[in-house]
Structure 1
Amino acid sequence: MRLRTRLYIPRVIKRLLPTSLFGRSLLIIILPVAVMQIAVTWAFFDAHWQAVTSKLSEGLAGDIAWAVQSYEDDPSPAAVEKLAKRAEDSMSLSIAFQKGRKLPTGHRPSLFAALDRSLQHALEDRLDNPFWFDTTRYTAYIDIRVQVQGGVLQIYALRDRAYATQGHIFILWMVVATLLLTAVAILFIRNQVRAIERLADAADAFGRGEDNDFKPHGAREVRQAAQAFLAMKARIVRHIEQRTALLASVSHDLRTPLTRLKLEMALSEPSEQIEAMKGDLAEMEHMIDEYLAFARGEGGEAAQVVDLAELVEGVVASAERAGAAIETQIAPGLEARLRPLAFRRALANLIDNGLAHARHVRVSVAPRLTGGVEIAVDDDGPGIPEDRYEEAFKPFSRLDESRNQNEKGVGLGLAIARDMARGLGGDLVLARSALGGLRASIRLPG
């Protein structure tokens, strides 16, 4: 018995992860690089920069402690002047005595608090006097003040005496390297993902009956998938061509004897039996038309952008010429990409279905809030139970328990209409109508 192990990822984290292949591939590359860069930077600061900074701060604190001790040994003005000159020449320290001053009480925090802490600890270890320092006021100097007898000893030291000032260059190189690696990763991943996207677009276009000039490219695995798709496409096209030729032959062979029978009955003496036979022939011809329409599908018709108002009004007008009364609510200016003949046949099937089971039928065309358009056929008939909507789409399903007996239909109208809608990237859905009966809605993308 095989045991399958699966990495558990909390749902919160899973929702935050990218869903596209491009995003996930980029995350797989960028995340390890970012983690490595952070780890290297942290190790550099912790093991090198901090150590160097601590040593420098300790050296500066030692020089300041010497200056304070020298002042306390001889606080005379001449000694202070001599101390300042010696500190300037040998230690690059600028020392001045401020008589009667007190240490400042405020303190402005530095951007790099760890550096301030390093200098703080070094001065605390070397000085017994109260002190204050500021690393933010000057860009190249540090202002250090020590409380001594009679005032404050103010000392200006070069910043590089206390800090390893080249650390920002290392950080800059790390950031530049990360950005460069990210740009290269985006470029290569995008090229690979684009090949998969083109394959998906070609498959989607073929599913809608459109043909495009698609050539395999990309990684070896992607090209293999594309070659398999092209081989499958060729087999399906060959099958459709063979089926179309067969249907054309069947249509001709079936219609020929039907035409002879209709001609013979037209030449026969009128009688009730002849009229009944004419009705049977008409029903048989209608059934054959529906069978062939269902088997033929879209019949290779090319999709094109059409004005829905004009197309729907034409279908409604054809139904009204047969004696039907249909209400219309058609929004003007709406267009959709579809196959006109297949759409006419599907909409006519929905209208005929409504007229066969209801007294009032309404056809409406309106834009959808989520995009695209919706062509709905409502009726006030008995409707279909919601739990049997999917069953109604099955070929040859007639649902006689909930709908009136359709004398002409063979249960293919809804199946043909849904095949047409799905072939265009849309769908056909059933719902309860505001008129009380059934609502059949063809939803097409914009």
Structure 2
Amino acid sequence: MRLLPPALWGRFIKRRLPTSLWGRSLLIIVLPVLLMQVAVTWAFFDAHWQTVTARLSDGLAGDIAWAAASYGDNPTPQNMAVIAERAERSMQLSIAFQEGDVLPRDQRRGLLGVVDRTLDSALAARLDQPYWFDTTRYPAYIDVQVQTPTGVMRVIAPRERAVATQAHIFVIWLTLATILLMSVAILFIRNQVRAIERLADAAQAFGRGESPRFKPHGAREVRSAALAFIDMRQRIQRYIEQRTALLASVSHDLRTPLTRLRLELALAEPTKRTAAMQRDLDEMEHMIDEYLAFARGEAGEAAEAVDVPGLLRGLAADVVRRGAEAEVVAPQDLELTARPMALKRALANLADNAAAHGTRVRLSARRLASGDVEIAVEDDGPGIPEPLREEAFRPFSRLDESRNQNRKGVGLGLAIARDVARGHGGEILLDDSDLGGLRAALRIPG
């Protein structure tokens, strides 16, 4: 069998290691403790238990050899009675002679075989006669039988005469101590990891436009990172507030002259020139709305339950007013927790793009197996080539060649939609539609 190169072994092991901080910290604590317990247990059995068991087995084998030799010197019932009485009183051995019997042929051995091998070695070194023993039939005793010319001498010995029976107590105490220490370590690690998880949750919530209450916890380094995050959040919030105030002022300043121009055009005589100027004003107002929407966003809006089918039906009506066919495919009971105005603006941009470049538009929604809600807008237009799809999300990108020249707007529709999706913790994916055009799927955690 060919061995993998060290680099492949490294990648193989790395793929199977835990990826979370909790899993890796647990592995750092648990693995050394388990290895230490195995090493200590192995050393104990190798250096202590087997040595004691070998000495006990050797002592038992010596007592049995004495009994067999004493009976061989005077093979009479009277001598056997004396040997049995002495063995019972001094050696805790129960000896009985079975005249005319032979040794059993079947061999019964324990699962591990350590006791059997040790006792067999001791009996072989001490006895010249054939023998047989069984360490499994009686839990507290060992049965040893020795063949003599006239029969079988059977010896029943307490198990502690041949085996160090208290070794398991050491293993139990070692295991209990290990479990206790590991439990304390796991609880400590869990508390430290939970502090980092809270910091990550707070960062994700802030990225979605929420402002959860967050208090630093955990070790000094984690608290330092949490305090740095709080300072950063406050600076960003101040920047957002300042930008919002500036945009509100700019919006007011720009809309005032636009309103005066619109009023003057309304009072002027209708001509082709005034109609063209009216269209220019409409386009300018639309451009200003897109600029402000992209720069301002909807971060200050509170999240609430949104009726997805109702929202899609409203968008479908807008698509029909623009001259395209529209269909809605969505479960009637589908709801989504989101910022309603921001979500509507993102989907309206997608629907407007679809209606501008196609004659059929499909608005669909479903709940994925992951729990996310996917809202898709499809059209039968020219679509967007795959190499240009990421570029389509760039602000002010028009993709003239791929979308028959974006005649209206400034190329912020997809950028605003992606900003809204990511502000909800989701994403927008572009793909080919079975209608023949583009499929824009907005996925938001449900």
Which bin holds the TM-score, normalised by the shorter protein? Answer: over 0.9
CA distance in 2, matches of 1:7, 1:440: 41
| Higher mean C-alpha deviation, range 427-436 or range 100-109 | 100-109
**Number of the residue aligned with 2:293:** 293
Contact kept? 2:350, 2:377, Cα under 8 Å: yes
What is the letter of the counterpart of residue 175 of structure 1? T
State how 1:253-268 maps to structure 2 within 5 Å.
253-268=253-268
State how 1:126-165 maps to structure 2 within 5 Å.
126-165=126-165
**Number of the residue aligned with 1:422:** 422
CA distance in 2, matches of 1:24, 1:363: 44
Question: 1:39-85 CA deviation, whole Å, 9 max, x = no partner?
Answer: 12111111111111111111110000111111111221111111111
Q: CA deviation at 1:10?
A: 2.1
CA distance in 1, matches of 2:164, 2:298: 76
CA distance in 2, matches of 1:62, 1:332: 89
RMSD: 1.6
User: Do structure 1's residue 355 and structure 2's residue 389 form an aligned pair?
Assistant: no
Please give the secondary structure, in 2, of the residue aligned with 1:10. Answer: helix
CA distance in 1, matches of 2:100, 2:316: 103
**Number of the residue aligned with 2:3:** none
Please give the secondary structure, in 2, of the residue aligned with 1:246. Answer: helix
Q: CA deviation at 1:440?
A: 0.6
What is the letter of the counterpart of residue 417 of structure 1? A
Q: CA deviation at 1:109?
A: 2.5
CA distance in 2, matches of 1:8, 1:175: 36
| Higher mean C-alpha deviation, range 106-115 or range 433-442 | 106-115
What is the letter of the counterpart of residue 227 of structure 2? Q
State how 1:38-437 maps to structure 2 within 5 Å.
38-437=38-437
Q: CA deviation at 1:26?
A: 1.4
Q: CA deviation at 1:407?
A: 2.2
**Number of the residue aligned with 1:3:** none
What is the letter of the counterpart of residue 127 of structure 2? L
Please give the secondary structure, in 1, of the residue aligned with 2:390. Answer: helix
| Higher mean C-alpha deviation, range 333-342 or range 312-321 | 312-321
CA distance in 2, matches of 1:361, 1:124: 93
CA distance in 2, matches of 1:43, 1:393: 65
CA distance in 2, matches of 1:142, 1:179: 35
CA distance in 2, matches of 1:317, 1:209: 30
What is the letter of the counterpart of residue 235 of structure 1? R
What is the letter of the counterpart of residue 106 of structure 1? D
Contact kept? 2:141, 2:159, Cα under 8 Å: yes
What is the letter of the counterpart of residue 85 of structure 1? E
Q: CA deviation at 1:352?
A: 0.7
CA distance in 2, matches of 1:305, 1:100: 95
Structure 1 length-normalised TM: 0.96
CA distance in 1, matches of 2:147, 2:305: 87
CA distance in 1, matches of 2:255, 2:437: 37
What is the letter of the counterpart of residue 285 of structure 1? E
CA distance in 1, matches of 2:77, 2:228: 95
CA distance in 2, matches of 1:196, 1:442: 30
| Higher mean C-alpha deviation, range 390-399 or range 108-117 | 108-117
CA distance in 2, matches of 1:129, 1:285: 114
CA distance in 2, matches of 1:159, 1:298: 81
Q: CA deviation at 1:319?
A: 3.5
Q: CA deviation at 1:323?
A: 4.5
Q: CA deviation at 1:112?
A: 3.9
Contact kept? 1:244, 1:299, Cα under 8 Å: no
**Number of the residue aligned with 1:444:** 444
Please give the secondary structure, in 2, of the residue aligned with 1:194. Answer: helix
Unpaired stretches in structure 1, ≥5 consecutive residues: 1-5
Relative distance call for 1:220 and 1:8 in structure 2 (3 A) is: farther
CA distance in 2, matches of 1:281, 1:96: 121
Contact kept? 2:431, 2:440, Cα under 8 Å: yes
What is the letter of the counterpart of residue 127 of structure 1? L
CA distance in 1, matches of 2:112, 2:319: 82
Q: CA deviation at 1:7?
A: 10
CA distance in 2, matches of 1:227, 1:197: 15
CA distance in 2, matches of 1:407, 1:11: 52
What is the letter of the counterpart of residue 141 of structure 2? Y
Q: CA deviation at 1:299?
A: 4.0
Q: CA deviation at 1:278?
A: 0.5
What is the letter of the counterpart of residue 362 of structure 1? R
Q: CA deviation at 1:335?
A: 1.6
What is the letter of the counterpart of residue 70 of structure 1? S
Unpaired stretches in structure 2, ≥5 consecutive residues: 1-5
Question: 1:335-376 CA deviation, whole Å, 9 max, x = no partner?
Answer: 212110011111111111011111111111122233312111
